[in-house]
Amino acid sequence: MHLFRDRRFPILLALGFSAGVPLPLVAGQVLRQWFTESGLSLTDIGLTALIGLAYSLKFLWAPALDTVAPPFLSRLGRRRGWLLLIQPFLILAILATGFSNPATGPFGTAALAALVAFLSASQDIVVDAHRIEILEEQNQGYGLACYVWGYRLALLASGGGTLWLVGALGWGGAYAYAAALLLVGVLATLASREAPTKAAAPLPWGERLRLSVVHPFADFMRRPHWLAILLFIALFKLGEALAGIMTTPFYRSLGFSRDEVAAVGTVFGLFATLGGALAGGYVVARLGTARALVITGLGQMLSNLMYVALANAGHDMPMLWLQVGIENFTDGLADAAFVTYLSGLTSRAFTATQYALLSSLAAVPLRTLGASSGWMAESLGWTGFFLLTTAAALPAMAIMLFLLWRLPPAQPSGAPAPAG
Q: pLDDT-derived band of residue 198, with 50, 70 and 90 as boundaries?
A: low
Q: State the average pLDDT for the chain.
A: 85
Q: How many CB atoms lie within 10 A of CB 3?
A: 13
Any long-range contacts for 101-106 (C-beta under 8 Å, 24+ apart)?
A: 101/38, 102/34, 102/35, 102/38, 102/40, 103/38, 103/39, 103/40, 106/35, 106/38, 106/40, 106/44
Of 100 and 290, the structure prediction assigns the larger pLDDT to: 100
Q: Where are the alpha helices (DSSP H) in 196-237?
A: 205-209, 215-221, 226-235
The proportion of the chain whose per-residue pLDDT surpasses 70, expressed as a percent, equals 88
pLDDT band at 354 (very low <50, low <70, confident <90, very high): low
C-alpha separations of 215 from 209, 221, 222 in Å? 9, 10, 11
Stretch 339-364: mean pLDDT? 67
- Say if residue 417's pLDDT is above 70: no
Residue 397's contacts (CB-CB under 8 Å, 6 or more residues apart) are 297, 298, 301
Position 403 scores a pLDDT of: 86
Confidence of residue 3 (pLDDT cuts 50, 70, 90): low
Return the DSSP state at 420.
Answer: -
Confidence of residue 412 (pLDDT cuts 50, 70, 90): very low
Q: Average pLDDT of 341-368?
A: 68
The answer to whether residue 164 scores a pLDDT higher than 70 is yes
Question: Each residue of 58-74: pLDDT tens digit?
Answer: 878 877 787 778 888 77
pLDDT exceeds 50 at position 199: no
Q: What is residue 415's predicted lDDT score, i.e. its pLDDT?
A: 42
Length of the chain: 420
**Which region among 140-149, 158-167, 292-301 has the lowest average model confidence (pLDDT)?**
140-149
Interacting residues of 320 by C-beta distance below 8 A, sequence separation 6+? 251, 256, 260, 264, 265, 310
Where does the pLDDT of residue 178 fall: very low under 50, low under 70, confident under 90, or very high at 90 and above?
very high
Q: Does 73 or 20 have the greater pLDDT score?
A: 20
- Considering Cα of 334, then 335, then 336, then 340, what sign does the dihedral take? positive
The pLDDT value given to residue 287: 86
Q: What's CA 72's distance to the chain center, in Å?
A: 32
Instruction: Give per-residue pLDDT as tens, 262-297.
Output: 899 888 998 998 888 888 888 888 888 888 889 999
Identify the pLDDT of residue 414.
42
Q: What is the pLDDT of residue 205?
A: 64
pLDDT at 420: 35
pLDDT of residue 212: 67
Please give the model's pTM, rounded to 2 decimal places. 0.82
Interval 404-418 mean pLDDT: 59
Higher pLDDT, 62 or 170: 170
Contact 83, 126 (CB under 8 A): yes
pLDDT of 410 strictly over 80: no
How much is the pLDDT for 28?
84
